[in-house]
């Protein structure tokens, strides 16, 4: 079968651009179909978080709308696509869908693209709010929304992005209620999630856990804004995929450990797979996908050695496996350290570490909560990769370069 490209990437998202960038660097002929009228919407959300966290740390009130308008100008997010085109990627600013016969191709408004391989990376979108007057989290990307927000705000959802928004709104003086189902992060360590919940409550966020639909109760409350982020859905329905490619009802893409869909030359990466919407995971998936294509390998995505951060205001980092995924002889160690911040004229802060070990004391996973967690979590990643056994806390912290900062 004649092909036009080695790889056709579907989606102008962080994952899509990372995939295209790595593929072109490996000498592959690459096309990227934008597949959205709002490219890099996931990167706009990241930019919004960074702006809000910066403003939340300011001692004096600031003009939030002006800052957002300056930081999230929509035209700025076309620049990565332009830079990608300069490297040789054929960037196609259109939408399209698969055509399966007589041979597989991807058809846009003006093109019929035949690829040796395809990478599906269109990202996700928030499910539609049940009421017209409810806001989607993406509505906050519009700077004009911010001056209209009332004093009382309710957020429905437990996504990492929502937690950051709730924290920042509380720091701006809003009365914030966060409604979630049972737990904030059901797959993470419950003790550390409890610490995170306490942090949010101290910051001024009221947490409510509801087993029933909160919609009717919210409708009965006046003079408040409701931000509806109950769940996400994969942007796959417009691609004309066979039914076995997706997992209803959210329509996330179904892939194996090598990121292959039921058709082996079609891959997936990014939050459309249904995992956390985090850049660290998307980059790991993009790297694995391109290595497998360019080197004809069958590597699984290294999720167990990819550190990720779930919450930035109180750094909450994890790497590896934990809890129910441990082997029968697995165990854990946990310790809390105050950090010595006297030199910076700040109050001491706590750093809490939980390590999951096998019977040979080799590290299998780690969760770190608090300041300096980023440095430690990558040290834990290195220990998992090298299979070095845990010895003592002194040795662990010294090798991470943090021993001198601890208060014993």
Residue 75 placed within a domain = yes
163, 34: one domain: no
Residue 183 placed within a domain = yes
Range of the domain at 29: 5-126+233-303
120, 246: one domain: yes
116, 141: one domain: no
191, 220: one domain: yes
The tally of domains found in the chain comes to 3
Q: Which CA distances in Å does 37 have to 86, 143, 319, 326?
A: 21, 19, 35, 43
The 3-state DSSP class for residue 340 equals coil
Residue 102 placed within a domain = yes
Which one of 303, 328, 356 terminates a domain?
Answer: 303
Question: Does 347 score more than 60 pLDDT?
Answer: no
pTM value is 0.92
Question: Does 217 score more than 80 pLDDT?
Answer: no
118, 248: one domain: yes
pLDDT of the residue at 216: 60
pLDDT tens-digit series, residues 81-138 = 999 999 999 999 999 999 999 999 999 999 999 999 999 999 999 999 988 889 999 9
Residue 308 placed within a domain = no
CATH number of the domain encompassing residue 321: 3.30.390.30
Task: Report percent pLDDT > 70 for the chain.
Answer: 92
336, 391: one domain: yes
- The residue among 196, 122, 214, 202 whose CA lies nearest residue 160 is 196
Kindly tell me the burial class for residue 387, based on how many C-beta atoms sit within 10 Å of its own C-beta (0-12, 13-18, 19 or more). exposed
Question: Does 408 score more than 50 pLDDT?
Answer: no
Bridge pairing between strands 316-320 and 105-108: unpaired
As given in the structure block, the two tokens for residue 285 are: 């998936």
Mean pLDDT of the residues in the chain: 90
200, 327: one domain: no
pLDDT of the residue at 397: 85
pLDDT tens-digit series, residues 229-261 = 989 999 999 999 999 999 999 999 999 999 999
CATH number of the domain encompassing residue 141: 3.50.50.60
């Amino acid at each position: 079968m004649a092909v036009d490209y080695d790889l056709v990437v579907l989606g102008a998202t962080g994952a899509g651009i990372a995939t295209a960038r790595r593929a072109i660097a490996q000498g592959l002929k690459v096309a990227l179909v934008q597949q959205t009228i709002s490219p890099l919407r996931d990167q706009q959300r990241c930019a919004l978080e960074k702006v809000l966290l910066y403003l939340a740390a300011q001692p004096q009130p600031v003009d939030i709308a002006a800052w957002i308008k300056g930081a999230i100008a929509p035209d700025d997010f076309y620049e990565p696509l332009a830079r990608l085109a300069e490297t040789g990627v054929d960037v196609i600013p259109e939408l399209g869908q698969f055509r399966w016969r007589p041979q597989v191709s991807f058809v846009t408004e003006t093109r019929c693209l035949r690829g040796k391989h395809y990478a599906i990376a269109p990202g996700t979108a928030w499910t539609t709010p049940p009421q017209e007057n409810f806001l989607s989290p993406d509505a906050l990307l519009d700077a004009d929304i911010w001056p209209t927000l009332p004093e009382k705000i309710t957020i429905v959802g437990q996504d990492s992005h929502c937690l950051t928004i709730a924290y920042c709104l509380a720091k701006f003086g809003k009365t914030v209620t966060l409604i979630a189902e049972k737990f904030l992060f059901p797959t993470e360590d419950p003790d550390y999630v409890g610490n995170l919940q306490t942090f949010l409550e101290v910051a001024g966020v009221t947490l409510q856990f509801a087993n029933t639909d909160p919609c009717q109760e919210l409708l009965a409350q006046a003079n408040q804004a409701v931000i509806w982020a109950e769940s996400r859905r994969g942007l796959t329905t417009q691609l004309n995929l066979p039914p076995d490619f997706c997992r209803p009802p959210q329509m996330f893409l179904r892939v194996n450990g090598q990121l292959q869909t039921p058709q082996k030359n079609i891959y997936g990466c990014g939050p459309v797979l249904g995992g956390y919407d985090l850049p660290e995971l998307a980059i790991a998936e993009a790297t694995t996908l391109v290595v497998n294509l360019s080197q004809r390998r069958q590597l699984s995505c290294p999720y167990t050695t990819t550190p990720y951060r779930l919450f930035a205001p109180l750094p909450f980092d994890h790497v590896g496996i934990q809890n129910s995924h441990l082997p029968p002889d697995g165990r854990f160690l946990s310790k809390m350290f105050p950090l010595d911040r006297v030199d910076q004229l700040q109050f001491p802060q706590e750093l809490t570490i939980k390590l999951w070990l096998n019977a040979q004391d080799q590290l299998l996973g780690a969760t770190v909560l608090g300041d300096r967690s980023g440095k430690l979590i990558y040290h834990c990643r290195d220990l998992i990769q090298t299979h070095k056994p845990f010895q003592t806390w002194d040795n662990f912290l010294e090798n991470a370069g943090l021993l001198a900062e601890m208060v014993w």
